[in-house]
Chain A
Amino acid sequence: MFYREAGDFKTSYVQDAQTFPIAFDRWRYYFVLAVAFLVIPFVINDYWANAVLLPFLIYAIAAIGLNILTGYCGQVSLGTGGFMAVGAYACYKLMTGFDIYLMGADGEWVRYALPPINIFFSVILAGLVTAFVGVLFGLPSLRIKGFYLAVATLAAQFFLVWLFNKWAWSYNYSASGQINAPTRSMFGIEVTGPTTEPWAAYMFCLVFVVALAWLARNLTRGSVGRRWMAIRDMDIAAEIIGVNPLTAKLSAFAVSSFFVGVAGALFFAVYLGAVEVGEAFGIQKSFLVLFMIIIGGLGSIFGSFAGAAFMVLMPVLLKNVLVGTLGWPTDLAAHIEFIIVGALIVVFLIAEPHGLAQLWRLAKEKLRLWPFPY
């Protein structure tokens, strides 16, 4: 009924290959974008921005990044928290400016004071730095597979957290070891710092989310994505048909880490504003993002959004219902929240092991035929 191809004629290959081939689906997508860009910024307030939308958007980026690595390329990673930390600390150094030393003509080291870089480019550069680190830690993936690799990426997680805790240069030698995002603006509008308007922070993240989701979607359905999926489905077979596992795996690590690094930079600069590495980017974060993509659906961009929404919104929603509406003691509510989230995960998996994205796909199939059974 709703999702119908009937009457929707494709007259070119471009039309045939578009992301949303069904007209209704396409319009719905434009509608969501329109709401996100044109409605929400005008109605958003501090609570919705800081408690719901910012974490949702930022986790969505991280989830897309991990989904590229795990869902598309089949390399399970538990180093997400560590890579987010790289993004955050790189962003901090870039946005506050630091000294670099270059070899001068006479063989002497010359000091150049790098000025603070615009926040937008800081975030992107932070992503690139993370991509580099990701490739380094991705090297073992050429030998190690499956759960063994997952545990191997934990080495990255623990090492990076330890490093940023120890390396005073990375937090500008502050007495506490915390990093604080100073106020920075884009086009004269503050996007980081305590006096940021909620809509500005939201729009800043939204632009990244939309651009990166678009990038991910198109990467994964192009030749790069096909190579990744070939590696995921069976790496030996992929190698035999001519996919180079070295470049395929490492490119997945690089792209994935870029996304995760951007997420880490936004998480620190726009969302929290002050972080301490062990607390904000600990092992829990790695698991959280992994939960998101498994619940949302491996190998699906929509699944990354759905998973991030589930893990961010569910606890907030449950808390508001149990404490706010029903007036339960906060600790009982928190425990029951755990029980409900855990039970929901199990129920979802039993009902649909391939995540919310698959449920969504099935729902669309049903809607196509509805109200007729066939």
Chain B
Amino acid sequence: MVPLSWYLILSAVLFCLGAAAFLIKRNIITIFMAIELMLNGVNLSFVAFAAHLHKLSGHVFVFFVMVVAAAEAAVGLAIIIAVFRSRETLNVDRVNLLKL
């Protein structure tokens, strides 16, 4: 039986990797993937706790997160395509038309 703390540590590592990638990377698709990574890191701790406590609510939360993430991915990718068509770049630092 793998102890709970291992799951939690893995979850934290995944979340931190996602956060770090979000902060460091400039490619918008990578940033998008980093967000997914953070979400899934959290999902992992949800299911770990759910299994540990024998409660279903953790699983339900995970499904919600997955559904919302899927919807968000659809909208986000559409935006990315639109941005790429007009700006011809995926670098977020160059998508700065609204800045002073």
A joins B in a complex = no
